[in-house]
Amino acid sequence: MYDQVVEVLDKLRPFLLRDGGDVELIGVEEGIVRVKLLGACENCPSSTLTLKAGIERALLENVPGVKELEQVF
């Protein structure tokens, strides 16, 4: 599952980088994916939307076993 999560994040990364941000995978445990937003994404007012509507949705759709996404600060 870890490798599949990395693959999905790598596909989304160019969109984040274009806006001056990035995402770091902290870990995957029991279907919970933990990430840290970096750069412009750290303080962006749309970061919750980016996490839930963007990253979490992509993970749920593409990686069997993913239950939720948590942001680590």
CATH number at residue 24: 3.30.300.130
**How far is it, in rounded angstroms, from Cα 39 to Cα 42?**
6
Q: What is the mean pLDDT of residues 63-73?
A: 95
**How far is it, in rounded angstroms, from Cα 52 to Cα 58?**
9
Q: What is the mean pLDDT of residues 33-37?
A: 95
| pLDDT > 90? residue 50 | no
| pLDDT > 90? residue 24 | yes
> Using CA atoms in the order 9, 12, 18, 23, what is the torsion angle rounded to 10 degrees?
-30
Q: How many domains does the chain have?
A: 1
| pLDDT > 90? residue 5 | yes
Q: Tell me, yes or no, if the pTM score tops 0.85.
A: yes
- Tell me what pLDDT residue 48 has: 83
Q: What is the mean pLDDT of residues 10-17?
A: 94
- DSSP-derived 3-state class of residue 55: helix
Let me know if 37 is exposed, middle or buried by CB neighbors in 10 A (0-12, 13-18, 19+): buried
* 32: containing domain: 2-71
| pLDDT > 90? residue 27 | yes
